[in-house]
Amino acid sequence: MIANLIDKVKLPFRKDRELYSSLYRILGFYPRNIEFYRTALVHKSVAFKGRNGKSLNNERLEFLGDAILEATVSDILYHHFDRKREGFLTDTRSKLVQRTTLNALAKEMNLEELVQSQINNSSHNSHLGGNALEALVGAVYLDRGYDHCKWFLKRRILGRLIDIDGVAKKEVNFKSKLLEWSQKNKISATFELTNTINPGTNNPCFEMRVVIEGIVAGTGTGYSKKESQQKAAKEALMKLRREPKFLDSIFRAKEKRTAMGAEEFSVLPKIEEIEEEIAKLEQRTPECRTERPVKKRTRRAARETQLNNEMQQAESTEKPNANTTEKAETEKKKPTPRKKKANPGAKQAEVPTEKPLQTTETSEKPAQNATKQEASAQNDGEKSAARSHRRKRPRQNTEKADENSEKAREEIIRAAEEAAFNQA
The SS3 of residue 216 is: strand
The SS3 of residue 396 is: helix
Helices (H), 259-343: 272-284, 296-318, 322-333
Which DSSP state fits 323?
Answer: H
Report the alpha-carbon distance of residue 62 to residue 132 in Å, rounded. Answer: 7
Report the sign of the C-alpha dihedral through residues 173, 176, 180, 183, in that order.
positive
CA nearest to 288, candidates 249, 248, 238, 252: 238
CA nearest to 343, candidates 404, 399, 397, 398: 404
Report the alpha-carbon distance of residue 341 to residue 119 in Å, rounded. Answer: 133
Between the two ends of the chain, the Cα-to-Cα distance in Å is: 161
Pairing of β 55-56 and β 189-197: unpaired
Catalytic residue flag (residue 134): yes
Report the alpha-carbon distance of residue 37 to residue 139 in Å, rounded. Answer: 6
The SS3 of residue 371 is: coil
| Vertex 157: Cα angle to 156 and 158 (nearest 5) | 115
Size (the chain), residues: 424
- The answer to whether the beta carbons of residues 20 and 11 sit under 8 Å apart is yes
Which entry of 7, 66, 282, 402 is annotated as an active-site residue?
66
Which entry of 134, 171, 207, 213 is annotated as an active-site residue?
134
Residue 200 backbone class (left: φ over 0; alpha: ψ -120 to 50; beta: rest): left
Which residues are registered as beta bridge partners of 208? 193, 220
> Cβ contacts of residue 49 below 8 Å, gap of 6+?
55, 56
Catalytic residue flag (residue 402): no
Report the alpha-carbon distance of residue 422 to residue 402 in Å, rounded. Answer: 31
Report the alpha-carbon distance of residue 144 to residue 216 in Å, rounded. Answer: 54
> Cβ contacts of residue 139 below 8 Å, gap of 6+?
31, 36, 37, 39, 40, 61, 65
Q: Which residues are catalytic?
A: 66, 134
